[in-house]
Copies of this chain bind each other. A is one copy, B any other.
């Protein structure tokens, strides 16, 4: 039996083909917003159709004037229950937009509110192509291929079946480095992250969800291009930075930031995405696969901190414990 999401994505493609798409909104909260924002980045680069990523409640309350029958709104919530994102689906649907919900639970409120559902598997032992990144990238490059057909996108869709083996090989490749980072930084109460382009959202996610939420470590995800316009003054010999050196056109921004940070801080960890394993991926497609690989690699840096601080990533003081 073919996985569910293939037929679901085909339905989305048909719906999008029937509309003169004027804009695309990516709407979610926290880590889900960060994941979707990779799409915002690629659409900026690849399409003349405008896109915007917004946190769900800002989307509803700002009430963008461009939202309407020619809009595509992609929403995501892991459980499909995030109240703001469910409301955003209702809001966008009432405006006549094509609404697409991404979640692990097809029966969730979000999937019920949105017109289209795209389901992904989670921790059930299935291949990465059917997991959150595989499914989202399948959706994204399928949409790109509908809106601006290109043989490149077909190759991306084809090579996504390498994700499973690349996740495994890259986890092995970075395990020791990541756990050493955790060991060296276990006493740190603040760690800055930095990145640009598609990777900025990885830094944002690492800062918000892994450092602040799961590890209670203070942080701020600084854009490599913005670093020199204020934030760099905080740099000092003992200020820790975790910097993503991206694979893609904004890499020179990261290189410049790393070069400066390394001059004045003795604690700069560089995660170089070009050094990862890309076996089976065409050279010209690496910039699309880098962001897909970065997440699993960064997760190991959080695992390393968790191991050495003795602070499990599952501990919360507020989330799931009370109404807010």
Select one of B29, B52, B229, B264 contacting A29, CB under 8 A.
B229
Select one of B196, B214, B220 contacting A233, CB under 8 A.
B214
A63: chain B residues within 8 A (beta carbon): 45, 249
B57–A229 touching, CB < 8 Å: no
Assembled-state Cα–Cα distance A318/B261 (Å): 11
Assembled-state Cα–Cα distance A22/B48 (Å): 10
Nearest chain B CB to A187's CB is how many angstroms away? 15
A66–B84 touching, CB < 8 Å: no
B249–A62 touching, CB < 8 Å: yes
The interface on chain A, measured as residues whose beta carbon lies within 8 A of the other chain's beta carbons, has a size of 66
Assembled-state Cα–Cα distance A31/B226 (Å): 10
Select one of B31, B44, B235 contacting A66, CB under 8 A.
B44
A231: chain B residues within 8 A (beta carbon): 208, 212-213
A296 within 8 A of B: no
Copies of this polypeptide in the complex: 2
A228–B29 touching, CB < 8 Å: yes
| A220-B219 contact in complex given A229-B29, A233-B319, C-beta closer than 8 Å | yes
Which of A170-229 touch B at CB < 8 Å? Answer: 190, 196-197, 207-209, 212-214, 216, 218-221, 223, 225-226, 228-229
Select one of B46, B68, B197, B218 contacting A190, CB under 8 A.
B218
Chain A 52-74: CB-based contact to B (< 8 A → 1; otherwise 0): 10011110011111101000000
Assembled-state Cα–Cα distance A223/B29 (Å): 11
Given contacts A41-B62, A212-B230, A219-B220, 6 further A-B contacts (CB under 8 A): A44-B66, A45-B64, A55-B225, A57-B250, A216-B233, A233-B318
Provide a sorted-by-A list of 5 A–B residue pairs whose CB atoms are within 8 angstroms: A30-B229, A61-B249, A213-B232, A233-B316, A233-B319
Ranked nearest first, the 10 interchain pairs of A and B with the lowest CB-CB distance are A30-B229, A50-B50, A220-B220, A208-B230, A213-B230, A57-B225, A29-B229, A55-B225, A213-B233, A48-B66
